[in-house]
């Protein structure tokens, strides 16, 4: 109790011991017979005072028990309050940490809100810009569609013209074949004529031999015919006249021969022209090969573009998959705090910004490609107009010049193939660009709304995109098929060119053979001319006959050629009419296909507009929902802060109230202890007065009574009895420490000094000097002090049941300090 701050309990225990000692003295007094009236009066006073003291002691004990119970309750309450304080302090620390974290989060949220607002503003601006670009692209699309319709019509007309040209080329080729056949027939006839000419030469040689023989015979007969010379001279003059006529005929035949030679020269010139045309055709073939190489490079570039487009599409699919994963995570983490949501939104906004930048770059590229396509289209239109004019001129020239059809046919076929490929490439590029623009716009809207859409709609979008993927794959497959078909056509063209090269080579070889034959014929003609000069006279009649036969034969050939040309023209007209009818049917089919395609595209555009409207409505609803969520979060945070402040204020008020109660109870307990101390002081003063009154007995009676009572008291002291903790420091010296003296004895007082008194005999008791009980300041209550208080409460001090017990405690024992006080 001293450690807890109640040192006065020791004095109470001393009072109890003194009361016990006084009770013993009273019992001893009561056992002895009273000697006089003074002792009886003192005893009655003592008894009365002892009873009063007992009553006061009982009341004090009851008060002490009440105070102890109050102390127990107050200590338990204080312990509970301390536990509450500790919990409150811990909660306050946690709440402060949470408040700091929430403040940090709120600041981060505000910064993120500001950044997201700026990003949203930028996105809205970009979307408006993209919407304007889309409107412009739609206008350009309509313009291009109108131009494409006109270009399709022009291409259809060109196709018809090309088909007409192809028919004419076929007819020209047939004419060429027929002319080649006629040339072969003429060659055969020429060979036959040459054979006949050789046979005639042989005949003329035989005739010359015969004539030589006749000349020899005539020379032999000259001598015989000298007599007849005059007659012969007359005949010779006649023969000269005939020879002059025959010379005129020979000159005519020479002119005919020169005409034939001129015809041969014309044929050679035609052959040279054909050789030059073949050279030109070789050059055109080389040009076509270069054009084929350029087409191959363009096809390679288209393949690269297709691969790039597929890679971009794969990247977009990957981004879409990542976006789906992020949305699933958002759905799973929707119950988490606002920080995670904003972190995920920030990541999504970063991805959206990156996608936006990529889409802007792709949009710029598409815009550049569109401008390039416009320029290419204008150049193509100009080229088409020029080529149309050139084609018309070529058609007119082909009608007049059938021999130049081969080269011009190749040129027109190359140009037409180039135009077809370029138009197909342009159409494919335009379709791809339109698809890209539509896909990009859809993906922009989806990328801005995907973070806020539901899982079912995302699945629907995934299915739609899978369908789009299948469509794009089909389109890529169709493009690949078209490329394969174009490669096959290029291979066919190459095979045709090779065949033409072979034919040209064969023609060249044939021309060489003809040239050799013509040289041989020239040599033979020179020999024949030498012979003809000699045989003019003999073969005049034969030449006339042959000229007639030749004229007949040429007339027959001209008639045959005219008939063949008329037949070819009839066939060409019939085939032309059939081709025109077939092309008309094809044009009608193509127009029907285009009408169906445009109807489908219109329906798709309507569906897209409805989707966009639906998506805009969803976006507005989700924005409203997000604003409501933000408002609820702000309200919740404000309510939390208000609750925390109210709890803190209430906690501080409770702490202050508990402190005030504790201080008031401590003050009350200190006041009660002061009162108890003052009562103990008064009791001590009364007891000292009683001892002085009792010391008026004679010394002999005091010595006898003291001896008797000391024996009794020593026995009681030596007997085992429970002693309080506060009286353990009081010890009684036993018989071994006693000193016997007849006249003097030494007594150790409370101060530790020894006094000498003269007596006849007896014993002297030595007592240890008492420690001064100083007032100890109240200390802080610890768990150990509380445990000690509980132990003291569990073992309360034994209360005196009677007057003898009260005086046997030692605090009221007059012999405790001085056993010979009554002598």
Task: Kindly report, residue by residue over 772-782, the tens digit of the pLDDT.
Answer: 444 444 444 44
Is residue 680 included in any domain, yes or no? Answer: no
Q: What percent of the chain has pLDDT over 90?
A: 0
Is residue 770 included in any domain, yes or no? Answer: no
Q: Higher pLDDT residue, 786 or 525? A: 525
Report the alpha-carbon distance of residue 324 to residue 293 in Å, rounded: 46
The pLDDT value recorded for residue 532 is: 61
Of 168-172, 221-225, 538-542, 703-707, the range with the lowest mean pLDDT is: 703-707
Is residue 365 included in any domain, yes or no? Answer: yes
Q: Higher pLDDT residue, 382 or 642? A: 642
657: pLDDT strictly greater than 80: yes
The pLDDT value recorded for residue 713 is: 43
730: pLDDT strictly greater than 70: no
Is residue 596 included in any domain, yes or no? Answer: yes
Q: What percent of the chain has pLDDT over 70?
A: 54
Cβ-Cβ contacts under 8 Å for 821 (sequence gap 6 or more): 691, 695, 702, 706, 814, 815
Look at residues 419, 414, 495, 394 and name the one whose alpha carbon lies nearest to residue 168. Answer: 394
Rounded to 5 degrees, what angle do the CA atoms 138, 139, 141 make?
A: 60
C-beta of residue 71 within 8 angstroms of C-beta of residue 77:
no
Is residue 144 included in any domain, yes or no? Answer: yes
699: pLDDT strictly greater than 50: no
The pLDDT value recorded for residue 341 is: 64
Is residue 375 included in any domain, yes or no? Answer: yes
Is residue 683 included in any domain, yes or no? Answer: no
The pLDDT value recorded for residue 613 is: 84
SS (HEC) of 101-164: HHHHHHHHHHHHHHHHHHHHHHHHHHHHHHHHHHHHHHHHHHHHHHHHHHHHHHHHHHHHHHHH
The pLDDT value recorded for residue 120 is: 67
3-state helix, strand, coil in the chain (%, to 5): 85, 0, 15
pLDDT band at 26 (very low <50, low <70, confident <90, very high): very low
Per-residue pLDDT tens digits for 427-443: 676 677 667 667 766 76
pLDDT band at 12 (very low <50, low <70, confident <90, very high): very low
Q: Domain containing 615: what range?
A: 104-638
Work out the mean pLDDT of the chain and round it to a whole number: 68
Cβ-Cβ contacts under 8 Å for 221 (sequence gap 6 or more): none
C-beta of residue 323 within 8 angstroms of C-beta of residue 448:
no
For residue 532, CA distances in Å to 251, 522, 592 come to: 12, 14, 77
Q: What is the mean pLDDT of residues 708-719?
A: 43
For 647-655, which contacts have Cβ atoms below 8 Å and span 24 or more sequence positions? 648/92, 648/95, 651/88, 651/92, 655/85, 655/88
486: pLDDT strictly greater than 80: no
- 3-state SS class at 741: coil
Per-residue pLDDT tens digits for 548-599: 777 777 777 777 777 877 787 787 778 778 887 887 887 788 777 777 777 7
This prediction's pTM: 0.19
Domain total for the chain? 1
The pLDDT value recorded for residue 264 is: 72
Tell me the H-state helices in 695-731.
699-718
C-beta of residue 28 within 8 angstroms of C-beta of residue 76:
no
Is residue 40 included in any domain, yes or no? Answer: no
710: pLDDT strictly greater than 50: no
| Count of positions (residues) in the chain | 823
The pLDDT value recorded for residue 764 is: 41
């Amino acid at each position: 109790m001293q450690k807890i701050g109640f040192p006065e309990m020791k004095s109470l225990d001393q009072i109890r011991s003194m009361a016990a000692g006084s009770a013993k003295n009273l019992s001893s007094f009561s056992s002895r017979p009273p000697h006089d009236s003074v002792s009886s009066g003192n005893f009655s006073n003592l008894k009365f005072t002892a009873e009063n003291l007992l009553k006061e002691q009982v009341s004090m004990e009851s008060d002490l028990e009440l105070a102890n119970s109050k102390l127990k309750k107050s200590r338990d309450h204080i312990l509970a309050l301390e536990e509450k304080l500790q919990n409150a302090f811990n909660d306050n620390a946690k709440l402060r940490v949470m408040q700091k974290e929430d403040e940090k989060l709120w600041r981060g949220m505000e910064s993120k809100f500001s950044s997201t607002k700026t990003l949203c503003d930028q996105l809205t601006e970009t979307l408006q810009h993209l919407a304007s670009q889309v409107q412009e692209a739609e206008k350009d699309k309509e313009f291009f569609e109108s131009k494409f319709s006109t270009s399709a019509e022009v291409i259809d007309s060109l196709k018809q013209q090309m088909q007409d040209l192809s028919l004419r080329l076929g007819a020209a080729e047939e004419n060429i074949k027929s002319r080649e056949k006629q040339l072969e027939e003429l060659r055969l006839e020429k060979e036959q004529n040459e054979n006949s000419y050789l046979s005639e030469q042989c005949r003329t040689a035989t005739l010359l031999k015969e004539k030589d023989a006749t000349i020899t015979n005539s020379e032999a007969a000259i001598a015989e015919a000298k007599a007849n010379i005059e007659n012969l001279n007359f005949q010779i003059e006649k023969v000269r006249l005939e020879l002059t006529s025959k010379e005129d005929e020979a000159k005519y035949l020479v002119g005919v021969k020169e005409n034939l030679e001129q015809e041969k020269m014309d044929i050679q010139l035609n052959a040279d022209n054909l050789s030059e045309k073949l050279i030109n055709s070789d050059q055109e073939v080389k040009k076509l090969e270069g054009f084929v190489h350029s087409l191959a490079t363009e096809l390679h570039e288209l393949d690269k573009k297709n691969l790039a487009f597929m890679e971009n599409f794969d990247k977009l699919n990957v981004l879409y998959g990542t976006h789906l994963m992020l949305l699933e995570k958002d759905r799973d983490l929707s119950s988490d705090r606002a920080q995670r949501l904003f972190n995920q939104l920030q990541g999504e906004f970063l991805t959206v910004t990156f996608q936006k930048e990529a889409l802007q770059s792709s949009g710029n590229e598409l815009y550049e490609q569109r401008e390039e396509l416009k320029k290419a289209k204008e150049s193509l239109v100009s080229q088409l107009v020029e080529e149309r004019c050139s084609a018309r001129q070529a058609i007119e020239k082909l009608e007049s010049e059938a021999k130049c059809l081969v080269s011009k046919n190749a040129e027109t076929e190359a140009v037409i193939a180039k135009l077809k490929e370029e138009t197909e490439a342009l159409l494919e590029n335009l379709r791809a660009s339109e698809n890209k623009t539509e896909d990009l716009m859809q993906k922009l809207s989806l990328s801005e709304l995907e973070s806020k859409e539901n899982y079912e709609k995302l699945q629907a979008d995934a299915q739609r995109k899978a369908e789009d993927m299948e469509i794009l794959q089909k389109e890529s497959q169709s493009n690949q098929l078209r490329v394969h078909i174009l490669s096959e056509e290029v291979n066919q063209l190459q095979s045709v060119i090779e065949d033409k090269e072979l034919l040209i080579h064969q023609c060249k070889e044939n021309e060489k053979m003809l040239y050799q034959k013509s040289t041989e014929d020239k040599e033979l003609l020179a020999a024949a001319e030498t012979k003809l000069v000699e045989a003019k006279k003999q073969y005049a009649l034969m030449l006339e006959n042959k000229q007639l036969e030749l004229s007949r034969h040429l007339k027959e050939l001209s008639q045959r050629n005219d008939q063949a040309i008329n037949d070819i023209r009839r066939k060409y007209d019939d085939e032309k009419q059939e081709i025109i009818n077939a092309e008309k049917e094809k044009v009608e089919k193509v127009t029907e296909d285009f009408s169906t395609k445009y109807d489908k595209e219109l329906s798709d555009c309507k569906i897209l507009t409805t989707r966009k409207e639906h998506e805009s409505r969803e976006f507005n609803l989700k924005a409203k929902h997000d604003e409501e969520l933000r408002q609820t979060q702000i309200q919740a945070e404000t309510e939390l802060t208000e609750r925390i402040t109210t709890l803190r204020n209430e906690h501080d008020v409770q702490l202050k109230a508990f402190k005030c109660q504790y201080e008031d109870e401590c003050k009350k307990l200190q006041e009660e202890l002061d009162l108890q101390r003052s009562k103990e002081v008064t009791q001590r003063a009364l007891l000292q007065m009683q001892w002085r009154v009792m010391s008026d007995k004679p010394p002999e009676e005091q010595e006898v009574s003291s001896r008797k009572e000391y024996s009794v008291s020593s026995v009681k002291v030596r007997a085992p009895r429970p002693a309080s903790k506060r009286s353990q420091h009081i010890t009684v010296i036993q018989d071994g420490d006693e000193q016997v003296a007849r006249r003097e004895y030494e007594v150790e007082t409370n101060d530790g000094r020894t006094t000498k008194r003269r007596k006849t005999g007896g014993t002297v008791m030595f007592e240890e000097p008492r420690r001064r009980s100083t007032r100890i300041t109240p200390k802080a209550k610890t768990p150990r002090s509380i445990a000690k208080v509980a132990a003291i409460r569990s073992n309360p001090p034994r209360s005196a049941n009677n007057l003898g017990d009260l005086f046997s405690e030692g605090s009221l024992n007059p012999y405790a300090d001085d056993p010979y006080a009554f002598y």
